[in-house]
Structure 1
Amino acid sequence: MSVERNAGTRAIITGGAQGIGFAVAQQLVAEGCEALVLVGRSPEKGALAVAALEKLGAEAIFVSADMSRPDECARAVEVGLERFGTINGLVNAAASSARGTLTDTTPELFDSLFATNVRGPFFMMQGVVRHLLAAKKPGAIVNVLSMSAHAGQSFLTAYSASKGALAVLTKNVANAYRGNRIRCNAVLPGWMDTPGEAVVQAKFHGAGPDWLEKAEAAQPMGQLVKPHQLAVLIAYMLSPQSGVMTGSLVDYDQNVAGVIGD
C-alpha cells in the first residue's frame, strides 16, 4: 500500500466524528490526506475528533449539521470549500439504523430514515458534484450502505429499504458522471462493532455490557466488522489507486449474501 496514495485528497466525511467516519478520517491521514471536513451532530465529539486528527498532522474542521436537511448539507459543502478551496472526496457514513418492521413502522420513522439515509447522501453528493463539474476536476465518492440492502432483517424493513435506495443512487451517480472522471462506489458492511451499535443493542434489544463478546463468539470469523478494517477499503476506493472503479457495491462481511445453510 502506498503511504501517500491519498496525498491529494481533500474530503468531506459525514458521521466523521465517530465510528466508521472517524476511522476513515484517521486512515486517510495515514495515507497523506491533509484536509478533512468532518460533519456530524455533536460539536463535542467533533472537537475531540478534530484535535485527534490535528495531532496526526492534518488540517481538519468540524461542521455541525443535520444530514436530513438539504440546506444543512449544502452548508456543509460550502464551509468545506471556503476553508480548503476545493473538495474532491466524499464519504457518506452518517446513517440512522432505527428499528421497525413493516407493520409497526410509523410514517414518521419511515420519513426520518429516508431523510437521513437517502436524502442526506443525495444532497451531499449534489453539492460536491456541482463543485467538481464547475471546477472540471475529478473526484471520488464512497457511500456506506449495509448488507441489509440485500434484504435485511424483519425489524429493519424501512432501514433496509433506505439502503437499497442508496445502492441504486450510487450506481446512477456513477453512470451519470463517469465521463467527468467522478467516481461513485459503495461498501456494504455486515454487523459492525461501533459505539453506535452498542447504543442500538441496549436500546432496542435490551443487550447487556457483554453483548459484543456474545455476538462475536457466534460469528464465523469470531469478530464483528471493525471500523479500522473497513476504513482501509474506503480509503482505497477514494484514492487514485482504485483507477476506473465506479458503480461498484462491495459486500464487506463474513456472511455471503444468498447462501442458505452450509
Structure 2
Amino acid sequence: MQQLLNQKTLLVTGGTQGLGLAIAEAAAREGAVGVAIVGRSAAKAEAALAAIRAAGAATPGFEAAAIIADLSEPGEAERAVAETVARFGRIDSLVNAAGATSRGTLLDTSRELLQEHLTLNLVVPFMTMQGAVADMRDRGAPGTILNIISMSMHGGQPYLAPYTASKAGLAGLTKNAAFAHRFDRIRINGLNIGWTATPGETATQKTFHGAADDWLAAAEAAQPMGKLGQPDEIADAVVFLLSDRSGVVTGSIIDWDQNVPGAYDQ
C-alpha cells in the first residue's frame, strides 16, 4: 500500500458491484478516509460495505457509506453528491462507474432505450460532476474526477449503438469539463475500458448472446494477453489517476485495452 489517496474522500457511482466495487476497495486500501458508494440494491450495498471496510481497516477513522438510489430517476445523482458532502464534509474525488450496457442497433433501438443509455451514461455523470466540482470550487480546493468510458466510444459494435453514442458523449464532456476547470486545479480524466471480466458481464453475455457457462474461458483464450480486463487492475489505474502521482494530467481519455483502435492485421 502506497497511500496514494491518503485522507481523501471519494464518491463512486456503481460502487456496489463489479468494477465500481473494485475501485472503492482499492481506494480504501490506498488510504482514503471516506468512501461513499451508490447502488440500487440494499443487499448488494451491505455486502460491498463489508468488503470496503475490510480494505480500509488499516486507516484510522475510515468510514464507508452506501447511498441507495436509482440514478435513472431525476434528482438522485444530485442527492448522492449532497449526501456524500453531508457525510464526509467534502468530495475530494469522484468516480463515475455506473452505467447501462443493454443492446440495441441503430435500426431496432427505441427512443426509450436510447434515453436509458443517455441518462445513465451521460446525464448522471454530468450531474455528479456538476455537484462535485461545485463543492471543490466552493472550498477553493483541488480535486480529481475519473469517468469510466469505453473502447466502444471509438465506434463500437453494431449492437451497441445507444451505448456507443452515450459513451462518446461522456468522452466529450470529460474533455470539456477538464478544460473549463483546469485553473481550479480540478483534474478530470476518462478511462476507455475494453472487455472486462465482471459478474455483470457474465449476465450480459448470457442474456444477450446466449453464452454458455464456460464463455469466459473461451473469450480469454482468444485475447492477445490471454485474459479479459481485470477489475482489480483497472481499479489500480483509476486510483493512480485520482492521486497526486498522476501529476498534471487532465483531459486525457486513456485506452485501457489490449486491442488498438485503427490498427489492422492486414
TM-score scaled by length of structure 2: 0.96
SS of residue matched to 1:225: coil
Whether the 8 Å CA contact 2:34–2:88 is kept in 1: the answer is yes
Name the structure 2 match of 1:154: 158
Confirm or deny: 8 A CA contact 1:70 1:123 kept in the other structure.
no
Partner amino acid, structure 2, of 1:221: M
Q: Deviations over 1:175-228 (max 9, x none)?
A: 000000011000001101011100000000000110101100111111000000
- Paired position in structure 2 for 1:59: 63
- SS at structure 2 position matched to 1:209: coil
Which one is further off, 60-69 or 16-25? 60-69
- Kept in 1, the 8 Å contact 2:149–2:191? The answer is yes
Q: Which amino acid counterpart does residue 85 of structure 1 have in structure 2?
A: G
| Structure 2 residue aligned with 1:15 | 14
Give yes or no for the alignment of 1:204 onto 2:211.
no
Are 2:176 and 1:176 aligned? no
Aligned mates of 2:51, 2:228 — CA distance in 1: 25
CA distance in 1, matches of 2:182, 2:246: 14
- Which sits farther off after the overlay, 186-195 or 45-54? 45-54
CA contact (8 A) 1:100 1:156 kept: yes
Q: 1:70-119 deviations in whole A, cap 9, x for unaligned? A: 41111111111111111110000001111000000011100011000000
One-letter amino acid of the counterpart of residue 247, structure 1: G
Task: Give SS of 2:181's match.
Answer: helix
Please say if 1:245 is aligned against 2:249: yes
Distance 1:19 1:54 in 2: 17
Match of 2:226 in 1: 222
Question: Is the CA contact (8 Å cut-off) linking 2:192 and 2:254 kept in structure 1?
Answer: yes
In structure 2, the residue matched to 1:142 is 146
Q: Contact 1:53–1:59 (CA<8 Å) still a contact in 2?
A: no
Which secondary structure does the structure 2 equivalent of 1:155 belong to?
coil
- The residue identity in structure 1 corresponding to 2:168 is G
Contact 1:35 1:59 in 2 (8 A): yes
Instruction: Identify the residue that residue 30 of structure 1 maps to in structure 2.
Output: 29
SS in 2 for 1:12: strand
Listed as ranges, the gaps of 5+ residues in structure 1 are: none
Aligned partner of 1:99 among 78, 100, 103: 103
One-letter amino acid of the counterpart of residue 9, structure 2: R
Contact 1:39 1:62 in 2 (8 A): yes
State the aligned residue count.
261
2:113 corresponds to 1:109: yes
Q: CA deviation at 1:121?
A: 0.3
TM-score (norm 1): 0.97
Mapped to 2, the partners of 1:68 and 1:178 lie a distance apart of 29
Matches of 1:136 and 1:255, distance apart in 2: 40
Identity of aligned residues (%): 46
Structure 1 runs of 4+ off > 3 angstroms?
A: none
Contact 1:7–1:32 (Cα < 8 Å) also in 2:
yes
Residue 190 of structure 2 is aligned to residue 190 of structure 1: no
8 Å CA contact retained: 2:28, 2:53: no
CA RMSD of aligned residues (A): 1.0
What 5-or-longer segments of structure 2 have no aligned partner?
Answer: none
Question: What amino acid is the match of 1:240?
Answer: D
d(CA) in 2 for partners of 1:64, 1:229: 27
User: How far apart, in 1, do the equivalents of 2:158 and 2:8 lie?
Assistant: 39
Equivalents in 1 of 2:193, 2:51: separation in Å?
25
